[in-house]
Amino acid sequence: MADATLTVPLIPRPGPGTPSGPAPRIDWVAPPQSWVGLSLLNTALRILTLGLYHFWGKTEVRQRIWSAVRINGEPLEYRGTGGELLRGFLVVFFLILLPISIIGFVVPFAVKGHPAAEGSYNLGAWVFLLTLTGIGVHRARRYRLSRTTFRGIRGGLAGRSRGFAWTYFWTMALVPLTLGWLYPYRSLVLYRELTNASRFGDMPFEFHGKSGALYRRFWLLWVGGIALMIGVGAVIASALGPDPKITAQAMTAAKVGQIVGAVLGAYFLFGLLYAWYAAGRLNYFAAHTKLAGASFKLRATVPSLIWLTASNFVLRFLTLGILSPVAEARSMRYIVERLSIEGEIPWERIAQNPDQLLKRGEGLAEALNVDAF
């Protein structure tokens, strides 16, 4: 699908009197308005408008989150609109989702009883949807960066969505074929493609990380996961006994408790291992990302990451998603408060991003329920 663009005038390059100065300071300054109040208001307006306000509510949440991020005391700005998000969703709905739904309803009846045709259809549908997801992630990232400004200078994302979608597809396809071993490589390749294509004004970001550093943690996660599965299997086999025809009546409360305890314990231990891996991955990605002469340092820790993830899950679950804006703000605050910038950014050398603006928002990512970051 071709990108719709809108030409905007360039903002002049800052003059030579604008110094680079010391390393920029990044802070989180919470807005005076209540996140809970905003969440409740958005929910009420969604109900009253039969869901139409969703796009304007999402825009308001982003504007507040972006403005809470300060660089040297100056806020980021989010300049997207609810109308752009709505137009993007409508285009995707009528040109992609509706035809896919019709095809998905009709074709299974046409190929029923023909195993080869059914298999080809299922494989084709999987490939198509996975590729669409990659396109949606790339276009959503491009849209959000193009609507993010600092000191009047826009962000941007270079490259074509189809190229990223191909990488997204083949790396995902190989993850199960390698029993999950490709997972760190995939995350690094996708991050590298998006980061190296990202711009602040006309200044590119750079990422020079290697996947080998991730595998130094991932191997323990992978081996630990296998060991936990074997352990749970052994507990289940012990509880069921040698009789393969064991009935529900023979399953005592003690045996059920033993199995449930083993599953929950394995899940908890695997969560700890994954948090250890994820914290290391976040810190590594930040440390190997650069903008001009500046580098980044993130101090994510295992306990704080577990608390953030678990508490955000509970917050969303218990409120049926109503307080999702609170969880989104907490996630951004977590990153900002642990992120520091080392080195100087040559502000005086950064001109406006020359890319053209997309007219529409991230309809494909919205429809497929995927995020850009």
Secondary structure (DSSP) of 133-200: HHHHHHHHHHHHHHTEEETTEEEEE-S-HHHHHHHHHHHHHHHHHTTTTTHHHHHHHHHHHHHHHEEE
State the residue for tokens 């504007």.
63
Structure tokens at 249: 């009546």
294-298, 328-332, 346-350: range with lowest mean pLDDT: 346-350
Burial 204-222 (b: 16+ CB within 10 A, else e): bbebebeeebbbebbeebb
Pick 364 or 53 by higher pLDDT.
53
pLDDT for 57 equals 96
Q: Is the confidence at residue 1, as pLDDT, over 50?
A: no
d(CA 273, CA 113): 45
Structure confidence by residue, pLDDT tens digits, 123-174: 888 999 999 999 999 999 999 999 999 999 999 999 889 999 999 999 999 9
Residue 20's pLDDT band, with cuts at 50, 70 and 90, is: low
pLDDT for 156 equals 93
Structure confidence by residue, pLDDT tens digits, 171-205: 999 999 999 999 999 999 999 999 999 999 999 99
> At CA 140, angle to CA 7 and CA 4, rounded to 5?
30
Query: DSSP secondary-structure letter at 248?
Result: G
Contact by Cβ (8 Å): 345, 24: yes
Contact by Cβ (8 Å): 306, 275: yes
Domain regions of the chain by residue span: 79-207
State mean pLDDT over 96-124.
83
Q: Is the confidence at residue 106, as pLDDT, over 70?
A: yes
Q: How many residues does the chain have?
A: 373
Phi, psi of 366 (to 5 degrees): -65, -45
State the residue for tokens 């198509």.
128
d(CA 276, CA 286): 16
pLDDT for 13 equals 44
Structure confidence by residue, pLDDT tens digits, 292-301: 889 999 999 9
Contact by Cβ (8 Å): 336, 296: no
Contact by Cβ (8 Å): 134, 164: yes
Write out the E strands in 63-104: 69-71, 74-75, 77-78
Residue 250's pLDDT band, with cuts at 50, 70 and 90, is: low
Our measurement of the distance from residue 7's CA atom to the centroid of its chain's CA atoms, rounded to an integer in Å, reads 28
pLDDT for 244 equals 55
Residue 367's pLDDT band, with cuts at 50, 70 and 90, is: low
Q: Is the confidence at residue 83, as pLDDT, over 80?
A: yes
Q: Report the share of the chain in percent with pLDDT over 90.
A: 65
Q: Is the confidence at residue 16, as pLDDT, over 70?
A: no
**332-338 long-range contacts, Cβ below 8 Å, gap at least 24?**
332/28, 332/65, 332/68, 332/69, 333/28, 333/30, 333/68, 334/300, 334/304, 334/308, 335/298, 336/26, 336/27, 336/28, 336/68, 336/69, 337/27, 337/28, 338/298, 338/299, 338/300, 338/304
Strand order in the sheet with 26-28: 26-28, 69-71, 74-75
State mean pLDDT over 71-95.
92
Distances (CA, A) of 251 to 74, 201, 235, 238, 256: 63, 65, 14, 12, 7
